[in-house]
Amino acid sequence: MTARTTAKARTRVLRAAGLAGLLALAAACTGDTPAPPTAVVDRGTVSSAVSASGSLVSITQQNLGFADRGQIAELFVKVGDAVQAGQPLARLDDAAARSQLASAQAKLDQQQASLGKLTGGNSVEAAQAALDSAREVLDATRDQVAATDAADASAVDRARVQLAFDKKQLELAKRQLQKDQKACAAATATTTAPATPPATEGSPDSPGLLAGLSSANSTNTGNTTSTNLACTAIRTDQQAVQTAKANVVSSQTALDAAEHQRDTDRAQGRVSIANAESTVSDAQSQLDGAGNDAPADIDVQAAVVRDAENTVADAQRAVDNAVLRAPVAGTVSAINGAVGDFVAAAGGATPLAPGTDARIPAAAGSADAAAADSASNGAFITLNDLQTFQLVVPFEESDAAQVAPNQRVDVTVDAVPGLTSPGTVVAVAPTADQISGVVSYYATIVLTQVDPQLKDGQTAQADVLTKVVDDVLRVPAAAVRQENGRTVVSLPGSDGQPVTREFTPGMVGDRFTEVRAGLDEGQEVLLPQATVQATANGGGGPGGN
């Protein structure tokens, strides 16, 4: 929680304490005992946020990319398409991410089973569920590895067939070249040999001599035609041989690449199967020991469960990040990739305007302003003609560690009281800046809804919801306290005295704490109040309970 958020919570407590003090003082003056302030356990959202301030900036371009690198599996849009906020634009191959999510969920189930055992839950059933889930993950992993291996084997077979075909074509081209070379040489030798007149008697004008000359001329004419055809074809045959050689080299390269991909996928598949088998083994061990009710430290196991929940949340975020969605409405002006291409993770254009071409108001007019306003390098999809605002704000390093792309943001504007606009984190700068001596990281936030009251340059605060759970049982955080390692609240007693009640907490938010067990919906809990102790001369002073 940031210092600003802590200050807000402290202010709310002080205000409540001051109001309670005034009520107690009024009661002391009138002689009436005021009713203690209470709250009701209800269902709703529990969230925690980190906050930072900046200025709204109107934008006309968004350069978008994936949070993680990967291979493009699907493109849902083309250049020129108009898209709406939240619309899917492209998807990466998420098989590995889904496998990691399933594995993380199986481990969470296992840890929750252990916690249930310690707190009196049905640990055997939970452990069995964890084992079943782990086995499903193992089966799915084996199926995926088998499918990948079959696809790789098919690719290798196709590459081998193509190589054999290209080698055959090269052999045919060489034979044709040799055939035409021999024909050309033979015809040329015949054509250039001296003509020998047939042996005849009598004068040159005799019928026998004329017939011999005519036959020789006819033979020479035929040889010349044959020579021209064979010799002319030699150049074409040579080109065909060179083309066939290039095809053989290309086919050999494709075969080598297919075999390398097959070997790489097989190695990765063995690792994936080994990990899944290890998870099944752990789950089986947990099930075998589920009947042993030995005492254990509940707090330690609860911390393990929270850590497993964070791992599941990270894995789910990786799956969600495989789909690139439009943060705002716009028109697709560029797509830098095609299905099958590998793309790198988006890192933002500059450390000052991560993920977009937004300028940072504090740097306007500086030497870096032009760079901040230029288009981001390495953008996968570019959206143009946007009628919205974005906010580039610095988060101090401990808060920045909790900020990630696609998180929900509540944006409030000082000039428009009561207006809260939803937004989305686009990117976080990969490098830090020193701002007033504090190490900070800039984050770019895009408003997903625009109000006509918003204007460029207005001061705004961004509350990034780092953790959110919806529709859960909750109790105001002000009513919760710790006693001897237990989480408790005070309930109104039938005799007017408060009754301490222990409950099992879940997520602890800025204003509410999740209730997992121990309290019922609609139940009243006491809030802390200030008391006024009368003095002998009628004076008094406020105090905390």
Tell me the pLDDT tens digit for each residue of 401-431: 999 999 999 999 999 998 999 999 988 888 8
More confident residue, 371 or 376: 376
> How many other CB atoms are found less than 10 A from the CB of residue 369?
15
* Averaged pLDDT, 8-21: 45
User: Closest Cα partner for 412 from 442, 444, 453?
Assistant: 453
Alpha carbon separation from 97 to 50, 100, 132, 320, 392 (Å, rounded): 27, 5, 20, 9, 30
Which pair of structure tokens corresponds to residue 487? 């989480």
In this prediction, residue 457 carries a pLDDT of 79
Arithmetic mean of pLDDT, 173-191: 85
440: how many CB neighbours lie within 10 A of its CB? 19
* Burial class of residue 354, CB neighbours in 10 A (0-12, 13-18, 19+): buried
pLDDT: which is higher, 255 or 449: 255
Q: Is pLDDT larger for residue 151 or for residue 208? A: 151
The 10s digit of each residue's pLDDT in 68-96 is 888 999 999 999 888 988 899 999 999 99
pLDDT at residue number 60: 67
Between 541 and 108, whose confidence is greater? 108
* pLDDT attached to residue 350: 42
**pLDDT interval class at 372 (50, 70, 90):** very low
What percent of the chain has pLDDT above 90?
46
36-70: pLDDT as tens digits = 899 999 999 999 999 999 888 767 667 788 888 88
pLDDT (mean) for 145-159: 93
Q: What whole-number distance in Å separates Cα of residue 377 and Cα of residue 385?
A: 19
Size of the chain in residues: 545
Instruction: Decide if pLDDT at 260 tops 80.
Output: yes
127: pLDDT confidence band, cut at 50, 70 and 90? confident
Of the listed ranges 55-64, 137-146, 503-512, the least confidently predicted one is: 55-64
Supply 76's token pair. Answer: 């849902």
pLDDT of residue 124: 65
What is d(CA 55, CA 460) in angstroms, rounded to the nearest whole number? Answer: 6
- 192-230 pLDDT, tens digit each: 555 444 444 433 343 443 333 333 333 444 455 555 687
- Residue appearing with tokens 């049982």: 473
Residue 351 pLDDT > 60, yes or no? no
- Residue 125's pLDDT band, with cuts at 50, 70 and 90, is confident
pLDDT tier at 163, thresholds 50, 70, 90: very high
Least confident piece of the model among 41-55, 124-138, 513-527: 124-138
Q: Which amino acid is at 241?
A: V
Please give the Cα distance from 365 to 247 (Å, whole number): 57
How far is C-alpha 516 from the geometric centre of its chain's CA atoms? Answer: 30
pLDDT of residue 152: 93
**The pLDDT value given to residue 391:** 87
Tell me, what's the pLDDT at 59? 72
Q: Above 50 in pLDDT, residue 532?
A: no
- What average pLDDT does range 327-341 have in this prediction? 86
- For residue 307, pLDDT beyond 70: yes
Tokens 């006693």 locate to 483
Higher pLDDT, 284 or 119: 284
Mean pLDDT of the chain: 79
Residues whose CB falls within 8 Å of the CB of residue 25, separated by 6 or more in sequence, listed in order: 532, 540, 542
Does residue 105 carry a pLDDT above 90?
yes
Residue 400 pLDDT exceeds 70: yes
SS3 256: helix
Pick the more confident residue, 440 or 12: 440
Average pLDDT over residues 251-280: 94
Question: Residue 310 pLDDT > 50, yes or no?
Answer: yes
pLDDT of residue 482: 95
Percentage, residues of the chain above pLDDT 70 = 74
CB atoms within 10 A of CB 187: 20
At 292, the pLDDT band (50, 70, 90 cuts) reads low
In this prediction, residue 514 has a pLDDT band, given cuts at 50, 70 and 90, of very high
- Would you state the pLDDT for residue 196? 45
Return d(Cα 62, Cα 331) in angstroms, integer: 10
> 471 is written with which tokens?
């529709």
pLDDT of 161: 95
187 pLDDT higher than 70: yes
User: Which position has the higher pLDDT, 162 or 15?
Assistant: 162
Give me the pLDDT at residue 22, please.
Answer: 47
